[in-house]
């Protein structure tokens, strides 16, 4: 069975900014192909976060059936555990969707690898996904590492 990858909004936004679809259509097609194969997934909260942007990344993530997974009981338990151990993963003053605990929880539920453009910053005010993933033993990579792992060639 192939590795499953849970994709963070930062990676989709990075694709949009760095690889616009009108120039780099193939990366978007590979991404969509892997979503359709169940290899790339995300949390419905990531799709909701992206939906507030109203741009190509928003439209792209909404149209991908099966990409945004609903929060099930096991993912919710993992997210609660994560927030108990690392409360500064979210901004308690922010009422907007904050997907990180749910995405990491989904990754734990699915035994998947996180894909994010966030970088480790152990002393940051807001915890970064790579540091939280390391704490919970969840593999964490960036988009370029995903492209290499999936053998995407352009």
Of 21, 11, 22, give the one whose Cα is nearest residue 150. 11
The full length of the chain comes to 154
Beta-sheet strands, E only, within 31-133:
40-43, 68-69, 113-115
Ramachandran sector of residue 54 (left: φ over 0; alpha: ψ -120 to 50; beta: rest): left
The structural domains of the chain, with segments of one domain joined by +, span 8-149
Number of Cβ within a 10 Å radius of residue 54 = 9
pLDDT tens string for the chain (154 positions)?
Answer: 689 999 999 999 999 999 999 999 999 999 999 999 999 999 999 999 888 876 888 888 888 888 999 999 999 999 999 999 999 999 888 888 799 999 999 999 999 999 999 999 998 989 999 999 999 999 999 999 999 999 998 8
CATH topology of domain 8-149: Rossmann fold (3.40.50)
- Burial grade of 76 (CB within 10 A; 0-12, 13-18, 19 or more): middle
Alpha carbon distance 146, 102 (integer Å): 20
Of 124, 150, 136, give the one whose Cα is nearest residue 7. 150
- Kindly report the pTM of this predicted structure: 0.94
């Amino acid at each position: 069975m192939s590795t499953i990858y849970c994709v963070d909004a930062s990676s989709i936004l990075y694709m949009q900014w760095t690889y616009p679809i009108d120039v780099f259509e193939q990366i978007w097609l590979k991404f969509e192909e892997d979503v359709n194969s169940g290899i790339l997934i995300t949390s419905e909260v990531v799709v909701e976060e992206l939906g507030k942007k109203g741009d190509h990344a928003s439209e792209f993530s909404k149209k991908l059936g099966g990409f945004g997974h609903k929060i099930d009981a096991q993912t919710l338990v993992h997210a609660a555990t994560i927030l108990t151990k690392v409360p500064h993963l979210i901004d308690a003053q922010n009422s907007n969707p904050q997907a990180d605990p749910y995405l990491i929880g989904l990754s734990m539920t699915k035994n998947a690898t996180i894909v994010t453009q966030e970088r480790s910053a152990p002393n940051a005010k807001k915890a970064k996904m790579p540091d939280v993933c390391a704490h919970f033993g969840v593999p964490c990579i960036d988009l370029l590492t995903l492209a290499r792992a999936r053998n995407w060639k352009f």
